[in-house]
Structure 1
Amino acid sequence: MGGGVLLALGGHEASLLAMLHSSSRSAKWRINSNRLDVYKVAGKVFLIVTDDPDEQIITVKCDPEHARALEHRFASIAPGRYLDKRHWISLGPGPGITERLTIDAVEDSYDLVAERLPRRDRPGAR
């Protein structure tokens, strides 16, 4: 994912999701002609990855204020596709979109979703 190019987590998808131990990948969704890989924690979506090599984006949950700041800072970050545009952002390839930024966005999304789950459903709950 170097060189400012996001490749739908560019092969880091499996290692990232291994860190997020309670996530699961659901069956592919289809919206219009787009195929999407959807990742969930305790049944709640935290990551959507396009399955189209011509349009490589990820969509993650984000704090609204932080989302607006990212959208102003990076041309290839926009309000989230397919979901509530206030709480979701989509990241595509472009200047400044690094592996670290992408991983941070996915981890933050996971945390936002997990912390809103009932205590009994949170990862690591007994």
Structure 2
Amino acid sequence: MPFGGEDLQDTARATAGALPRVTRGRPFTEHLDVYKVAGKVFLIVTEDPDDLIMTVKAEPEYGRLLRASHPSVVPGRYLDKRHWISVGVGRGVTADLVTDLVDHSYRLVLDTVPRGRGPR
């Protein structure tokens, strides 16, 4: 069975929801599901049915590699294009990759949180 846009988003939401001390809200617009740890964004899921994507933080070199190898991975929408990527359905985008990207983003953001302020 193909991995579709709703699958991508469901996998991203489930992965984020299983991580410690994650909060979810819609601080920017009703069409953006925003996940944070210690008050910092690590995942955005777009609610537009015509644009089923997620946006996550990635180390710049890793983001470049992903964009080069996956046509549906593009510079991050809404955020700094160097440190964020947006991911849609496409060749090579699997549930495992989505899970890894959400987890990686969470850990990158958590690393910027001062000790004692975030889950450790």
TM-score normalised by structure 2 residue count: 0.90
Q: Distance in 1 between matches of 2:32 and 2:27?
A: 5
Q: Match for 2:61 among 54, 65, 70? A: 65
Deviations along 1:35-68, one digit per CA (max 9) or x if unpaired, are 1000000100000000011100000000000000
Deviation at 1:122, TM superposition (A): 1.8
Q: CA, structure 1 residues 84+73, in 2 after alignment: closer, same or farther (shift >3 Å)?
A: same
How big is the alpha-carbon RMSD for the aligned residues of Structure 1 and Structure 2?
1.8
Distance 1:35 1:18, change over 3 A: closer
* Amino acid across the alignment from 2:31: R
- Aligned ranges 1:23-62 → 2 under 5 Å: 23-30=22-29, 35-62=31-58
The more displaced of 90-99 and 3-12 is 3-12
Unaligned runs of 5+ in 1: none
Q: If the length of structure 1 is used for normalisation, what is the TM-score?
A: 0.86
Q: Aligned pair count?
A: 120
Question: What one-letter code is carried by the residue in structure 1 that aligns with 2:16?
Answer: L
Find the residue that maps to 1:119 and give its secondary structure: coil
Change (3 A) 1:28 1:18: same
